[in-house]
Amino acid sequence: MKQRKNLLPALALGLAVGLGVAAAVLGDRLTAPVSGVAFGLAGAIGGLAASRLIMAHFDRTWTPEERKEIERAERDERNVAIREKAAYSSWYWTLYLLWGLFFLTLILQGGMYTALVSAAIVLHCVFYMVNMNRWTKKL
């Protein structure tokens, strides 16, 4: 059963790699929007599938006691409060940055601005982790 559980993410990862390679090989024969969508889908599907496979690997390495502790920590009121406060703080700091870059991308229609939006989303995730650490120390 465990092998079947990882079959869909493995297929999705193969699809993402194939889509990315096809978009790279076809290169100039694709229009810019189609190329962007192909690379975007390849990155999104690849990231989701790879993270699922990695999490499945780590899930197999945990002992039953560790699994119980992780489940308990997920439901702990203090940890839930920390995650909520960190998410709120992160969103507060990056909301206007994401909004501005999104509209800049729409208005100027440039590839560089799309890369800036991607970098801003990564910064949002970094801010979230930093804020989780900060709120862990405060609570």
pLDDT at position 108, please?
72
Q: Point out the least confidently predicted range of 1-10, 49-58, 75-84.
A: 1-10
pTM score, whole prediction: 0.52
pLDDT tens for each residue of 67-124: 888 888 878 888 888 878 877 777 777 777 777 777 777 677 666 666 777 777 777 7
Per-residue pLDDT at 45 exceeds 60? yes
Residue 26 to residues 31, 78, 112: CA-CA distances in angstroms?
A: 10, 51, 21
What is the pLDDT at residue 2? Answer: 53
How much is the mean pLDDT over the chain? 80
Query: Residue 16 burial by CB count (10 A; 0-12/13-18/19+): exposed, middle or buried?
Result: buried
User: Is-contact 87 116, C-beta < 8 A?
Assistant: no
The Cα–Cα gap between 84 and 76 comes to 12
